[in-house]
Amino acid sequence: MAGSDFLGGLIIATTVPAGIFTRERYARLAAQQPKFKLGPALKATAENKYFWKMFGTGLMLGMGLAMFEAMGLYVNIYYVFGGDKKTGAIWGGYVGTLGTVLAIASVPLVWWLAGRLGKHVTLRLALVWMFIGSLLKWWCYNPRYPYLMFVLPFFYSIGISSVFVLIASMNIDVIDTDELRTGRRREAMFTGFSNWMGKLAGSLAVALSGWLIRWTGFDPLLGGAQAEATIFKMRFFYSFAMAAMVLLALVCTWGYDLTAKRIHEIRDELERRRAAATSPRPTV
């Protein structure tokens, strides 16, 4: 409880001041821009192909994580450690901690690669890295060699952290393309629409995950004596089914061609427009 209180206090202390004191550079210009009605605003959002590619990528990953990642706990406890919940939880905590450390430590490397290869290329590499990590789960969750679990964070954790860091940044680039086309800055519409759709899909995926666990035939009363078919299904969902969702996310990035050069051109044009709109007009 003390640790949770500390983290909660730290989050409040660092995020609330940012919300209070951060100011939009062009706040006056944003306040003066004509408003979109809901229908035309949704239509303009739906017409942005880059939005759908980023939304689809995040949606496939989010649904895959919500449906299949819960299987990892069951595979760890009931397959690797034969129903020993305490040992499974301890090992899972160690692997999770390593994954968190690697995920945070890899962020500078991701941005270094993004600066040289482009965000879209780096995103695809991160998805491939995550895909490899998903496949490796089949072999690294091994009751004979449980230490193999410590291999996974070097692939899966680094991959998933890199993917979501890049998607967050690329969504800003998508909004820039919309402003270039419509002349309006509409973060709220893009964020609101994607969050609403994402939460709806995520809720359905979480509900489906419970059904999937029951469908595998898992019986908590059996402990470590689960049926072989049950263990097989859990391992399959956790590894290959999740890998399939990552592959679908990779497919969603097909045709995303916003290179670093093009992004800089768009931002330079937007800055020129904003400066012209805020500069005082000459008096006659």
Of the pLDDT bands very low, low, confident and very high (cuts 50, 70, 90), residue 163 is very high
Buried residues in 65-76 as b, exposed as e (16+ CB within 10 A):
bbbbebbbbbbb
239-283 residue pLDDT tens:
999 999 999 999 999 989 888 889 899 888 988 887 776 665 555
Residue by residue, what is the 3-state secondary structure of 121-135? HHHHHHHHHHHHHHH
Q: 284 pLDDT exceeds 60?
A: no
Tokens 């402003």 identify what position?
179
Mention every residue, 6+ apart, whose C-beta is less than 8 A from residue 242: 64, 65, 68, 69, 134, 137
Tell me, what's the pLDDT at 221?
A: 82
Separation of alpha carbons 223 and 24, rounded Å? 56
For residue 29, the model assigns a pLDDT of 58
Checking if the pLDDT of 1 tops 60, the result is: no
Residue 4 pLDDT exceeds 70: no
Write down the domain spans for the chain: 55-273
Best-predicted range by mean pLDDT among 41-50, 132-141, 171-180? 132-141
| 237: confidence class by pLDDT, cuts 50, 70, 90 | very high
Query: For helices 156-182 and 85-105, what crossing angle results, to 10°?
Result: 50
Q: pLDDT digits over 208-219, tens only?
A: 888 888 899 988
Q: What is the pLDDT of residue 25?
A: 59
Q: What pLDDT, on a 0 to 100 scale, did the predictor assign at position 128?
A: 96
Arithmetic mean of pLDDT over the chain: 85
| H helical segments located in 69-155 | 71-74, 85-105, 107-117, 119-140
Long-range contacts of 266-272 (CB under 8 A, 24+ apart): 266/173, 266/176, 266/177, 266/180, 267/176, 269/180, 270/176, 270/179, 270/180
Homologous superfamily in CATH for domain 55-273: MFS general substrate transporter like domains (1.20.1250.20)
- Biggest CA–CA distance in the chain, Å, is 89
Q: How far is 102 from 225, CA to CA, in rounded Å?
A: 34
Residue-level pLDDT at 144: 94
Q: Of all residues in the chain, what percent are helix, strand and coil, respectively (each to 5)?
A: 80, 0, 20
> Residue 240: what pLDDT?
95
Q: For position 26, what pLDDT does the model report?
A: 56
What pTM does this model have?
Answer: 0.83
Indicate the pLDDT class of residue 109, thresholds 50, 70 and 90. very high
> ∠ CA(191), CA(267), CA(113), 5° rounding?
80
- State percent of the chain over pLDDT 90: 40
User: Per-residue confidence at 81, pLDDT binned at 50, 70, 90?
Assistant: very high
Instruction: Answer whether residue 82 shows pLDDT above 70.
Output: yes
Contact assessment for residue 178 and residue 188, using Cβ atoms and an 8 Å cutoff: no
Q: How many CB atoms lie within 10 A of CB 112?
A: 11
- Cα distance between residue 134 and residue 116, in whole Å: 27
